[in-house]
Amino acid sequence: MQKGDIVSRSSHNHDIIFVITNIDGNIAYLRGLYIRLSADSDLEDLVPVDESDLNRYNESKMEYQKNIINTYKKKIGHITGKILHLDSDPFYLTKCLNLYKSLGIYAYGVEVNEALMEDQILEYIRKTRPNIVVITGHDSYNNRGIDDLRNYKNTINFIKAITRIRSQYDLDDICIFAGACGSNAEGLIAAGANFASSFDRKNIEAFDPAIVAIMVAITPFNQIVDIESIYNFSKMQKGSIGGIESYGKMRLLVR
Over residues 3-25, the pLDDT tens digits come to 999 999 999 998 889 999 999 99
- pLDDT tens for 153-194 read 999 999 999 999 999 999 999 999 999 999 999 999 999 999
Looking at residue 180, what DSSP letter applies?
-
> Which residues neighbour 173 within 8 Å (Cβ) at sequence distance 6 or greater?
131
- Mean pLDDT, range 191-211, rounded to an integer: 93
pLDDT tens for each residue of 15-51: 889 999 999 999 999 988 888 888 899 999 999 998 8
> For residue 210, what pLDDT band results from cuts at 50, 70 and 90?
very high
User: What is the pLDDT at residue 31?
Assistant: 86
CA distance 144 to 108: 36
Q: Are strands 46-48 and 6-9 parallel, antiparallel or unpaired?
A: antiparallel
pLDDT computed for residue 83 by the predictor: 98
The per-residue pLDDT for 240 is 85
Phi and psi, residue 22, nearest 5°: -165, 155
Cα dihedral 109, 234, 176, 182 sign: negative
Query: If DSSP codes are grouped into helix, strand and coil, which group holds residue 222?
Result: coil
Instruction: State the pLDDT at residue 1.
Output: 86
pTM of the model: 0.85
- Contact yes or no for 99/71 (Cβ under 8 A): no
